[in-house]
């Protein structure tokens, strides 16, 4: 099949466009899917020997691999205005990037040159893709970012590059040749390109061809290059958050600044004569430094800020709230009837323990203080994608109030399947 034929084959048809408009954002009812499961993947050995140390090639570790998304569905998502997507086209040694939403006719206009379609956060829109994350929960939830899905024509790719985060690259359809290079950093030379961070020089040290179900782990900073071998090449990239020191300091200071008043100033009532008035004394530096660090070192305040910051939705403009809010008693009745709750794939759940008597639950940028039985429920919410209410929950008005609030925010839903 030619590249042009492949492009025409994944065009957005009118029926698919209509269907996607009806489904996006995905109603939370019936979104739960059984997660993919590993048959032969030693997570403890992986964390010990490979995680953030060196690449790992894992051949078909799944009990039963199936590609969770069709090329047509991926193309349909790229046509939607609230889904982040890019189309990378190649011509000789030139690369061009177009940002979505892509017009419906664009796929039919692609010529014979290699091209790649990239769609971010597909797990938020396609339940079967969201289920692909579950086997990787041996990494803490707060580190998990999203699942990017790519489709490439023969020879298509995004060029040699490196990432600042860990990534698992899972082959969905077709084949892709992956080349691994050396370690890179911010000083590594890049090609001049407005949209793509392409390495100016790339030398492969290892090379593999991945078949459907095969998986490649690449730590931060490792140069890599993936090229489609044949048509219908789909790859699922599970990325992990890795905040930089610069990001943390910048955003934590932004949080602190509004809490600081102009009258909180340097003072030195114990000032004494010094030999040279041009010297900034060691005691002055100590006092100035303390003014700065004592606020930054407030660990409890930092923990609450980071939980809220890290759990903030990536696309906050998307409204996941139900059309009709639910009342506490109605929610209690549904739980009593045995209907399980599910987490919204787009929601981020995590918690910290300020002390043994309580925890702070973070959901979609907000923090909730939980104590006693509510603390146990919060732990369950963070640990499980789908769960039934324990009978003890149903007798607690505080538990019901928490679950009702999360349901009406769109962070939880009932599973009617």
pLDDT one-digit tens code per residue, 174-203: 999 999 999 999 999 999 887 788 999 999
Averaged confidence pLDDT in the chain: 89
pLDDT of residue 12: 44
Helix (H, G, I), strand (E, B) or coil at 109: helix
CB burial of 108-129 (b: ≥16 within 10 Å; e: otherwise) equals eebeebbbbbbbbbbbbbbbbb
Segment 70-91, tens digit of pLDDT:
999 999 999 998 899 999 998 8
Q: Residue 377: which H helix or E strand, with range? A: helix 372-383
Return the bridge partners of 167, or none.
Answer: 218, 239
Segment 64-73, tens digit of pLDDT:
899 999 999 9
Q: Cis omega before residue 101 (within 30°)?
A: yes
Q: Is the pLDDT of residue 10 over 70?
A: no
Between 296 and 28, the more confident residue is 296
pLDDT of residue 3: 54
CB burial of 276-302 (b: ≥16 within 10 Å; e: otherwise) equals eeeeeeeeeeeeeeeeeeebeeeeeeb
Other beta carbons within 10 Å of 238: 23
Strands 94-99 and 115-119: unpaired
Q: Is the pLDDT of residue 5 over 60?
A: no
Could you give the CA distance from residue 333 to residue 177 in angstroms, rounded to a whole number? 53
Segment 214-239, tens digit of pLDDT:
999 999 999 999 999 998 999 999 99
Ramachandran assignment for 258, one of left (phi > 0), alpha (psi -120 to 50 degrees), beta (any other): alpha
Helix (H, G, I), strand (E, B) or coil at 252: helix
Q: Is the pLDDT of residue 323 over 70?
A: yes
Contacts of 334 (CB under 8 A, 6+ apart): 414
pLDDT of residue 340: 92
Which residue ranges form the domains of the chain, and what is each CATH number? 3-240 (2.60.120.650), 244-258+283-297 (no CATH), 328-414 (3.40.366.30)
Written as six digits, the tokens of 15 are 């029926």
Q: Is the pLDDT of residue 20 over 80?
A: no
Q: How confident is the model at residue 32 (pLDDT cuts 50, 70, 90)?
A: very low
CB burial of 17-46 (b: ≥16 within 10 Å; e: otherwise) equals eeebeeebbbebeebbbebbebeebeeeee
Q: Is the pLDDT of residue 29 over 70?
A: no
CB of 359 closer than 8 Å to CB of 368: no
Q: Is the pLDDT of residue 18 over 90?
A: no
The DSSP string of 146-210 is EEEEEEE-TT----SB--SS-EEEEEEEEEEEEEEEEE--TTS-B---SS---BS----SEEEEE
Distance between the two ends of the chain, CA-based, in angstroms? 39
Written as six digits, the tokens of 29 are 């009812």
Could you give the CA distance from residue 167 to residue 56 in angstroms, rounded to a whole number? 11
Q: Residue 5: which H helix or E strand, with range? A: helix 3-9
Q: How confident is the model at residue 104 (pLDDT cuts 50, 70, 90)?
A: confident
């Amino acid at each position: 099949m030619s590249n042009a034929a492949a492009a025409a084959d994944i065009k957005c048809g009118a029926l698919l466009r209509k269907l996607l408009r009806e489904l996006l954002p995905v109603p939370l009812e019936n979104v739960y899917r059984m997660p993919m499961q590993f048959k032969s993947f030693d997570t403890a050995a992986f964390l010990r020997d490979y995680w953030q140390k060196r690449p790992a090639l894992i051949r078909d570790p799944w009990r039963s691999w199936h590609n969770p998304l069709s090329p047509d569905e991926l193309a349909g998502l790229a046509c939607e205005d609230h889904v982040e997507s890019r189309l990378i086209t190649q011509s000789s040694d030139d690369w061009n990037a177009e940002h979505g939403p892509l017009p419906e006719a664009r796929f039919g206009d692609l010529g014979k040159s290699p091209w790649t379609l990239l769609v971010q956060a597909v797990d938020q829109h396609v339940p079967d893709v969201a289920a692909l994350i579950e086997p990787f929960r041996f990494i803490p939830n707060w580190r998990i970012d999203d699942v990017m899905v790519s489709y490439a024509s023969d020879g298509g790719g995004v060029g040699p590059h490196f990432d600042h985060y860990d990534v698992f690259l899972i082959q969905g359809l077709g084949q892709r040749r992956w080349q691994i290079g050396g370690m890179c950093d911010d000083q590594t030379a890049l090609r001049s390109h407005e949209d793509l961070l392409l390495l100016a020089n790339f030398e492969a040290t290892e090379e593999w061809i991945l078949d459907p179900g095969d998986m490649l782990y690449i730590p931060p900073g490792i140069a890599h290059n993936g090229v489609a071998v044949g048509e219908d090449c789909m790859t699922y990239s599970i990325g992990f958050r890795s905040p930089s020191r610069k990001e943390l300091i910048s955003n934590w200071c932004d949080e602190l600044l509004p809490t600081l008043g102009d009258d909180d100033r340097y003072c030195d009532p114990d000032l004494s004569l010094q030999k040279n008035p041009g010297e900034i004394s060691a005691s002055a530096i100590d006092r100035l430094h303390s003014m700065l660090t004592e606020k930054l070192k407030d660990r409890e305040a930092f923990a609450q800020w980071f939980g809220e910051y890290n759990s903030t939705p990536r696309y906050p403009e998307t409204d996941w709230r139900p059309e009709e809010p639910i009342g506490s008693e109605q929610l209690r009745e549904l739980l009593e009837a045995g209907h399980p709750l599910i987490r919204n794939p787009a929601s981020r759940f995590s918690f910290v323990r300020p002390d043994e008597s309580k925890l702070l639950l973070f959901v979609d940028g907000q923090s909730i203080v939980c104590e006693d039985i509510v603390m146990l429920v919060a732990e369950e919410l963070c640990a499980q994608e789908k769960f039934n209410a324990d009978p003890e929950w149903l007798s607690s008005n505080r538990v019901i109030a928490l679950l009702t609030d999360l349901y009406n925010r769109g962070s939880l839903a009932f599973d009617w399947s």
